[in-house]
Amino acid sequence: MVLVVERRDAKNGQPEILGVGRLSKLHGPNEAEFALTIGDQCQNHGLGTQLLRMLVQVGRDEKLERITATILPDNREMQHVARKAGFEVSHETGAGEVLAQLRL
């Protein structure tokens, strides 16, 4: 499932993609991974938080048991957004990343 944030340019009416959120079902377990990207000029306006909340709702609607993401340790912004959406964010693992997980 992919959610796209789009707006129309006020001058020329052309559509412009501001951000993308993806929820990818894993093979086997009843789980999915999320990934988010918001364009540099649109960050810190709440779009990432809103997209992640919508992806969580999709996961609930799909009756998934868990949603996860692996995040780089220095990506404090993504860890903060995940915590705000209810995810537990672990300490850095030996693999050099942190795990965000939400049981639904």
Ligand X SMILES: CC(C)(COP(=O)(O)OP(=O)(O)OC[C@H]1O[C@@H](n2cnc3c(N)ncnc32)[C@H](O)[C@@H]1OP(=O)(O)O)[C@@H](O)C(=O)NCCC(=O)NCCS
Residue pointed to by tokens 């780089």: 72
Residue 34 beta carbon to ligand X: minimum distance, rounded to whole angstroms: 7
- Determine what percent of the chain falls in helix, strand and coil, rounding each to the nearest 5: 25, 40, 35
Per CB under 6 A, the list member of 23, 31, 32, 48 interacting with ligand X is 48
Residues numbered 56-95 forming contacts with ligand X, rule: CB under 6 A:
69, 71, 75-78, 80-81, 84
Which of 23, 31, 32, 36 touches ligand X by CB under 6 A? Answer: 36
Q: How far is the CB of 61 from ligand X (least distance, A)?
A: 21
Long-range contacts of 94-97 (CB under 8 A, 24+ apart): 95/70, 96/72, 97/70, 97/71, 97/72, 97/73
Q: Does 24 bind ligand X (CB under 6 A)?
A: no
**Smallest gap, in angstroms, from Cβ of residue 99 to ligand X?**
11
Phi-psi group of 28: left, alpha or beta (phi > 0 → left; psi -120 to 50 → alpha; rest → beta): left
Does residue 45 touch ligand X according to CB under 6 A? yes
- Rounded-to-integer distance, Cα 73 and Cα 52, Å: 19
Footprint of ligand X (CB under 6 A): 35-38, 43-49, 69, 71, 75-78, 80-81, 84
